Amino acid sequence: MLKTLPQKEVFKITRFIKKTLVKAKTQKVVLGLSGGIDSAVSLFLLTQVVQPENIFIIHSYYSSDHIADAKTILKLAQIPEKNIFFINIKPIVDGIKNTLLINDQVRLGNIMARVRMILLFDRAKKENALVCGTENKSEHFLGYFTRFGDAASDFEPIQHLSKTQVYQLAKYLKIPQKIIKKPPTAGLWKNQTDEEEMGFTYQEADRVIFLYFEKKKTIAEIINLDCPNAKKILAQVAKNHFKHEVPYTL
């Protein structure tokens, strides 16, 4: 029920990227590469439209856990070394943490995401480039993003695809299995994973969101379709819905 046609999607997405860059009168793009599947898929899609010398990559890290994976992806994408920036954000984040006396992991994670946003948009300003986002439909629906952080971008090539569909596209694009099988993480703290933090898998969330919003099934019907966390998933969607409505205006 969440099956996509990868070849058709690649054509549609690359055409969208081309049109977006023409409209913005630039051929340059900045991408934040985490070392995970969403940014890897986004990068591989970019390379089908944009010349490698016009793609600028920033891997901003608080710990070095994902540097090796990012390097693996970059080697396959053949991005010039002069366009790749590995930036340690720990001194910046810790400076803010100590100034504001922050001891809350979620607040600290939000600061990391917003510091990364500053780095991406600053590089985009320097290069006269657009920032390519890497958000998928599942994260968007669940509100699993930081406002003015990882949700900030100039264009979003995969936001219309569920996490399940992103995996399908990754296989088609020949993303390394190591990256595909890697537990999704925002890299906000040591051993942090999206699914452990949320309390359910993306696979289940995608089914629930599809059945509830597309097929108009009741929560009881969805639970009976082997989705025991349906209430929790829909509660998170409802709790974070405000993120799609702000800023409130008169």
Q: List pLDDT tens digits, range 142-180.
A: 999 999 999 999 999 999 999 999 999 999 999 999 999
Report how far apart, in Å, the C-alpha atoms of 180 and of each of 111, 183, 208 are: 27, 8, 22
Q: What is the pLDDT of residues 35-86, one digit of tens each?
A: 999 999 999 999 999 999 999 999 999 999 999 999 999 999 999 999 999 9
Q: Amino acid letter at 124?
A: A
DSSP string, 70-139: HHHHHHHHT--GGGEEEEE-HHHHHHHHHHHT---HHHHHHHHHHHHHHHHHHHHHHHT-EEEP---HHH
Superfamily, domain 6-196: HUPs (3.40.50.620)
Q: Is residue 208 within 8 Å of residue 237, measured between CB atoms?
A: no
Supply the pTM of this predicted model. 0.94
Q: How many CA atoms lie within 13 A of 138 on its CB side?
A: 22
Tell me the backbone φ, ψ of residue 181, rounded to 5 degrees: -85, -5
Residue spans per domain, the chain: 6-196, 199-250
pLDDT band at 185 (very low <50, low <70, confident <90, very high): confident
